[in-house]
Amino acid sequence: MNLPSTTKAYAALAPTTPLQPYNLERRPLGTHDVAITIEYCGVCHSDLHQVRNEWGGAIYPMVPGHEIVGHVKAIGSSVSKFSIGDRVGVGVIVDSCRCCSACEEHLEQFCEKGASFTYNSMEQDKKTPTYGGYSQEIITTEDFVLPIPENLPLATAAPLLCAGITTYSPLRHWKVGVGQKVGIIGLGGLGHLGVKFAHALGAETYVITTSAHKRTDALQLGAQGILLSSDSACMAAHAMSFDFILSTISAVHHLDDYLKLLKRDGTLVTVGLPPQPLKLDLSSVIHGRKTIAGSMIGGIQETEEMLKFCGEKNITADIELIPINEINTAYDRMLRGDVHYRFVIDIASLGKE
């Protein structure tokens, strides 16, 4: 009989307390489960929001982390997709109902009965809490485990499981590619991967930013150039010239300023989630038949596609590797925008604080 296993972790016990060491009990290994020894876990800005209950509905104790990579430690008796020792990852979702129209179309992120997110969520039994990757081990059904290409370093591949698929999914859905002019608003954890993907897909890519000092980085990442959104002359010079714009920023901003950059029938997609509703002058979309849309992560099939694409193009994240006892400092630095461009936790440091 398989028994629950105890693993070391870092958890938030309340919204106002720092993360701290915690002993986590994982569920027993089921017949279709994969047990993964976690080696690295990316730090997403949403980790901070959820730990501090800024989106509401937080479940404590909370073990964050949904950019998880490592090796298979054990498999259930009916597992067919993975073997012990495989390089694997776990992203934002760990299960779904499998039978609604969204799941049948491989869009588990939109599961109509509610996907099971990797942490601060419930398993499909709707009563067992989920716990994430700030821990030494995770046990997940094999259908939501992802193979990591052999040529990608695990530490820099970790952010692909959230930041990567969050930017890849809209670029693929709206068929971004050769012959298009694409803007990426914001050059942070999401934006820097958006630039890499848009460039790799063959688009003429520009970074739209408030920070002139990011020009060098933007060019090194594959951008053709940058637009300073605070420079009205620069913005006017590029008016009605973009086919597609991807907004990665979560700060309050003026949508109309960016919609002016779109061609007729152009599309602006946001993956950023500002804390307050944004204002919109409807004439900005009526004139030019422009579209504003939203997107989030992709489903499991699309995430596998993204990882294969990254393996072919050698795309990974630009990271700062940190020991887990620096996680609270990392959260404070994230709030200041002081990260280049994604924190990743070295899980080997867990238990050595």
Q: State the average pLDDT for the chain.
A: 95
Answer whether residue 275 shows pLDDT above 90: no
> Does residue 160 surpass a pLDDT of 50?
yes
Once rounded to an integer, what is the mean pLDDT over residues 190-198? 98
pLDDT band at 2 (very low <50, low <70, confident <90, very high): low
* Omega cis (within 30) before 341: yes
Rounded to an integer, the average pLDDT of 316-345 is: 96
Per-domain boundaries in the chain = 5-162+318-349, 164-294
Q: Given CATH 3.40.605.10, say whether it is the number of domain 5-162+318-349.
A: no
Average pLDDT of the residues in 261-290: 94
Q: 280-305 pLDDT, tens per residue? A: 999 999 999 999 999 999 999 999 99
CA distances from 39 to 28, 73, 122, 162, 326 (A): 21, 12, 24, 16, 16
Handedness of CA 229, 234, 236, 237 (dihedral sign): negative
**Residue 1's pLDDT band (cuts 50, 70, 90):** very low
| SS3 of the chain | CCCCEEEEEEEECCCCCCCEEEEEEECCCCCCEEEEEEEEEECCHHHHHHHCCCCCCCCCCECCCCCEEEEEEEECCCCCCCCCCCEEEECCEEECCCCCHHHHCCCHHHCCCCCEECCCCECCCCCCECCCCCECEEEEEHHHCEECCCCCCHHHHHHHHCHHHHHHHHHHHCCCCCCCEEEEECCCCCHHHHHHHHHHCCCEEEEEECCHHHHHHHHHHCCCEEEECCCHHHHHHCCCCEEEEEECCCCCCCHHHHHCCEEEEEEEEECCCCCCCCCCCCHHHHCCCCEEEECCCCCHHHHHHHHHHHHHHCCCCCEEEEEHHHHHHHHHHHHCCCCCCEEEEEHHHCCCC
What percent of the chain has a predicted confidence (pLDDT) above 90?
92
Residue 315's pLDDT band (boundaries 50, 70, 90)?
Answer: very high
Residue 41: alpha-carbon gap to chain centroid? 12
Check: CB of residue 118 under 8 Å from CB of residue 133: yes
- Judge: domain 164-294, CATH 3.40.50.720: yes
- Bin 173: left if φ > 0, else alpha if -120 < ψ < 50, else beta: alpha
In this prediction, residue 317 carries a pLDDT of 98
Read off the pLDDT of residues 130-150 as tens digits, 9 standing for 90 and up: 999 999 999 999 999 999 999
Q: How far apart are CA 42 and CA 162, in angstroms?
A: 9
Find tokens 């596609």 and name the residue: 305
pLDDT of residue 4: 61
Torsion sign across C-alpha atoms 175, 177, 181, 187: positive
For residue 177, give both structure tokens: 């590619």
Instruction: Please say whether the beta carbons of 183 and 246 come within 8 A.
Output: yes
Structure tokens at 86: 């495989």
> Helix 163-173 crosses helix 300-313 at what angle (to 10 degrees)?
100
Give the per-residue pLDDT at 5.
75
251 pLDDT more than 80: yes
Q: Decide if pLDDT at 3 tops 80.
A: no
Pair of tokens at residue 277: 């509703």
